Structure 1
Amino acid sequence: MTEPKLTTAMSESDRTLKLLSGARRLPGFELEVRRETVEQMFINQISQASYDISELSLASYLIAKSGGDTRLTAIPVFLSRSFRHNAIYVRADSPWRHPSELKGRRFGFPEFQMTAAVWVRGMFREEWGLGQGDLEWFTFRPERVPVDIPATLTEGDLFEALVEGRVDAVMSARRPPEALFPASGEGGAVRRLFPDVWDAEREYYGRTGIFPIMHLVSLKADAAQRYPELPRQLYELMLGVKNEGIAGQLETIKNNTSDPWAWESVERSSKLMNGDIWPYGTAANWAQIVKFMAYLREDGLLKRELAPEEVFHASLLDT
């Protein structure tokens, strides 16, 4: 009997590679893997529900859901999480060393609704004492879900605009090109705003317990309806793959990365985060999602707060 084929789009990481390569199989299904950039798979999924299973921006998913879009559901698997203190850049000759010093300045994002940008604006308000009207906002690509935003859409490249002085600071999930920002993080035309950024991120986590979620895993609602066992099976499989990936990072017979001190980093993270450095499941993450929805509402991007059963498939509310 031929197994049902599910189109699948996810970025490669230790949390997905075994699934995408076929090393770990989803029982009863064949996965047809589509190769796209993260940005393109987000556009395809949120605009057309192009994939049965897809990595997706947390912000865009929640915005669409609050607007009544029922084409997608999700499982509490978070393929991207990142502290974003390290993603704020200024010119190397800038006098600023902290976000609180940017009042009245011009700040650029790739996109206003992108999850990382929502987290950063929330931290501007809650952590650094600057409200939405205290900075002038600029974006550099169209919004993937149509929304009204208090930002000016600008032509050109985000980092070129920074170097040329058209904006004073930017947030970018992608690292600047090496010509502007060397691998050492020093000596280029741009630098990170925070001089002690890694300590700042650990302090933030130690105080808040938040390791910011960026992306979740979406499913077509009709696929979940046709195959009621699919959401739970996929969740259990991806939880196992993630846990195996973390265990692999700690294995010392060979280094799974090219970083000679990767083991130290994982051990330090495990100590700070009480052993679970990348949590999946509804219970461990719902409080953070509620905070994120509050940030979205403060930005004017979310029409209403969503309940857990509106965000995640009903079969996974007990995770």
Structure 2
Amino acid sequence: MSKLSLSLAVNDYDHVRDLLDGRIAAQGIDLVPSVLPVEEIFYRTTHFQEWDLSEMSLAKYASLRSQGDDRLIGLPVFPSRVFRLSSLYVRDDAGVMSPADLRGKRIGVPEWAQTASVYSRGWLVHDQGVALADVEWVQGGVNQAGRREKVAVRVPDGVRYRPSPEKSLTAMLLDGDIDAILSARPPAPPAGREREIVRMLPDFETAERAYFERTGIFPIMHLIVMRRDVFTANRWIAGNLLKAFTQAKDASVARLEDITCSHFPLPWMSQRAAQARAMFGGDPWPYGIAPNRTTLDAFLRFAFEQGVCHRPMQADELFPPEVAAAVRV
């Protein structure tokens, strides 16, 4: 019996690679992968749904679903997760040294609906007491001018937000047109000016660990989505894909933990993996809905408060019932 051929667009991740090269297989499925930059995948998926399966921005996916666009349906597979307190950049001479210093300032974001920005704004509002209306928000490309929002957003009343397509955020920060950048992708200043832009929180790891201990939030950036027509015709693929992605991820974590030889060109990786297991209570990178509910619920709350989602949403709305719970025998 022939297997179902499905196209997949995804970035290059060690925890997905075993699935792409065939060392791990999704039962009944032949994957045809395209390994591409995430910005390209998100644009082509949002506008054209070119692949059967694709990596997708959590914010853009949730926004589309909140607006009644159900052409895509999610899998609780999260290839990218990043704490984002590292993503605030300022000029080294600006005197902006803490979140409180951002009140009354101008912050540049690549898109209002960038997932990283949703989490960081949620941290500013709920953890640091800096309201959205305390800041003027400027939207533009980080290192190239002309970037635009990919989904419709409803910026809350009283919040100052304006697109600025003429210059990149990096150029605006260097020229003093804005006071900070909040972005997943770092600014890339021209040669000779690299030291003029610094992180607002240089010791971000300590701050991020403390944030996780307070909130239980381990930010999810991306998920895997399926075209709904493909899923509707083959509902069995959801569970099989979730199982295969999980096996590939578990194999990657096992490589991290292997002290026999170095699978990654950095020292102490096995020790870092053990520390992560201790911090996160077992699986340091869980897939599925239940172990990620705290993070998903917080994200959806932030997204609605910020106008990225057009209505309140629950985590279970993002995924089909076939992946709602693990099968136990």
Return the TM-score normalized by structure 1: 0.93
Aligned partner of 2:264: which letter?
T
Equivalent position of 1:158 in the other structure: 169
CA contact (8 A) 2:296 2:315 kept: no
Shift >4 Å, 4+ stretches: 178-182
SS at match of 1:77: coil
- Answering whether residue 152 of structure 2 is matched by residue 146 of structure 1, we say yes
Aligned partner of 2:173: which letter?
L
Cα deviation digits, residues 95-122 of structure 1 (max 9, x gap): 1221121100010111110110111111
Where do 1:1-319 residues align within 5 Å?
1-140=1-140, 141-149=147-155, 150-154=160-164, 155-177=166-188, 188-319=195-326
Instruction: Kindly report the root-mean-square deviation, in angstroms, between the aligned alpha carbons of the 2 structures.
Output: 1.9
Aligned partner of 2:161: which letter?
A
Cα deviation digits, residues 154-200 of structure 1 (max 9, x gap): 13222222122221111121233386799xxxx82211101321111
CA contact (8 A) 2:289 2:316 kept: no
SS at match of 1:74: strand
CA contact (8 A) 1:308 1:317 kept: no
SS at match of 1:81: coil
CA distance in 2 between partners of 1:94 and 1:263 (Å): 39
CA distance in 1 between partners of 2:315 and 2:116 (Å): 22
**Cα distance change, pair 300–166 in 1 and its aligned pair in 2 (3 A):** same
Unaligned runs of 5+ in 2: 141-146
CA contact (8 A) 1:76 1:281 kept: yes
CA contact (8 A) 1:5 1:32 kept: yes
SS at match of 1:83: coil
**Cα distance change, pair 178–136 in 1 and its aligned pair in 2 (3 A):** closer
CA distance in 2 between partners of 1:255 and 1:94 (Å): 42
CA distance in 1 between partners of 2:222 and 2:54 (Å): 10
CA contact (8 A) 1:180 1:188 kept: no
SS at match of 2:76: strand
CA contact (8 A) 1:179 1:188 kept: no
**Cα distance change, pair 193–44 in 1 and its aligned pair in 2 (3 A):** same
Shift of 1:265: 2.2
CA distance in 2 between partners of 1:298 and 1:214 (Å): 18
Shift of 1:43: 1.4
CA distance in 2 between partners of 1:231 and 1:120 (Å): 31
Aligned partner of 1:289: which letter?
L
Shift of 1:289: 1.4
CA distance in 2 between partners of 1:318 and 1:153 (Å): 42
Unaligned runs of 5+ in 1: none
CA distance in 1 between partners of 2:178 and 2:235 (Å): 49
CA contact (8 A) 2:12 2:36 kept: no
The worse-fitting range, judged by mean Cα deviation, of 39-48 and 307-316 is 307-316
CA contact (8 A) 2:41 2:54 kept: yes
Identity of aligned residues (%): 32
**Cα distance change, pair 246–52 in 1 and its aligned pair in 2 (3 A):** same
SS at match of 2:8: strand
CA distance in 1 between partners of 2:191 and 2:205 (Å): 20
CA distance in 2 between partners of 1:4 and 1:76 (Å): 21
Return the TM-score normalized by structure 2: 0.90
Aligned residue pairs total 315
CA distance in 2 between partners of 1:261 and 1:5 (Å): 40
**Cα distance change, pair 9–181 in 1 and its aligned pair in 2 (3 A):** farther
